[in-house]
Amino acid sequence: MTRTRLVEIERDILDKNNGIAANNRGLFVADDLLVFNLLSSPGAGKTTLLVRAVSELKCSRWVGVIEGDQQTSNDAKRIQAAGVPAVQINTGKNCHLDAAMIGDAYRRLPLLSGGILFIENVGNLICPAAFDLGETCKIVVFSITEGEDKPLKYPDVFAASSLMVINKIDLASLLEFDVGKAIEYARRVNPKIDVIVVSARTGEGFAALYAWIDRQAGRQRRAFEDKGR
């Protein structure tokens, strides 16, 4: 196959995905949902962070989770054990979620009107960045065990994300991770990216995360009201 033909196929796949993502976005807006698409390398702590966050957030609003992994339902079970509905997608040979998978999974969740849908993408710092799922925004979870240079090595995920959550800060005294440098590198790729430092293990930084989520809800409400005028 020629390189031009490969590029054409890739463009077709992304165009088709974008159309379905626009449909998803329509559904999410109609249901007044905030939708966060979480990206990271495997093991950065997405599920641990979600278990803690949904346990807290479910007290004040509807919360649901779509879990993506190549194999197993382990992560959906961890979320369900926290008392929140979760649907598992197994992508098999695929290394990312696409908009069609999200459309199907969303129909299998109870109605979450006015609430929050979290999507945990497949652990992979590369192609999930290219696939719009219809989310409100992407969040990259980046743990301090990964080395501060990852925003420079895998820029697309950081460029596509509105928020970088730096996780596992409880391990800071054991590692030589320079938080300032990590933020500088991320902002080199994406000057507008927000940053919150947390420990999903201890809960440090989660108040700032909830405040950030509240700000996104306020922003969405204002955009909705402006449209209504």
Ligand X SMILES: Nc1nc2c(ncn2[C@@H]2O[C@H](COP(=O)(O)OP(=O)(O)O)[C@@H](O)[C@H]2O)c(=O)[nH]1
List of residues contacting Zn ion (CB under 5 A): 95-96, 127
Cβ atoms within 10 A of the Cβ of 43, count? 13
Closer residue to ligand X (CB): 14 or 196:
196
CB of 166 to ligand X, least distance (A): 10
Closer residue to Mg ion (CB): 46 or 138:
46
CB of 68 to ligand X, least distance (A): 10
- Binding partner selected for residue 96 from ligand X, Mg ion, Zn ion, none, CB under the kind-specific 5 to 8 Å limit: Zn ion
Residue 121 binds to Mg ion (criterion: CB under 5 A): no
Residue 167 binds to ligand X (criterion: CB under 6 A): yes
The contacts of residue 203 (CB under 8 Å, 6+ apart) are: 52
Residue 201 binds to ligand X (criterion: CB under 6 A): yes
Cα separation, 120 vs 69, whole angstroms: 8
Of the residues 24, 40, 41, 47, which one makes contact with Mg ion according to CB under 5 A:
47
Closer residue to ligand X (CB): 20 or 165:
165
Residue 75 binds to Mg ion (criterion: CB under 5 A): yes
Beta bridge mates, 89: 68
Q: Under a CB-based contact definition with an 8 Å cutoff, are residues 56 and 200 in contact?
A: no
Contact region with Mg ion (CB under 5 A), list: 75-83, 84-92, 138-146, 175-183: 75-83
Sequential DSSP letters for 103-133: HHHHHTSPP-TTSEEEEE--S-SSGGGG---
Residue 171 binds to ligand X (criterion: CB under 6 A): yes
Q: How far is CA 147 from CA 82, 99, 110, 177, in A?
A: 31, 31, 39, 6
Cβ atoms within 10 A of the Cβ of 31, count? 16
SS3 assignment, position 83: coil
User: Residue numbers of the site for ligand X (CB under 6 A)?
Assistant: 40, 42-48, 123, 167-168, 170-171, 199-201
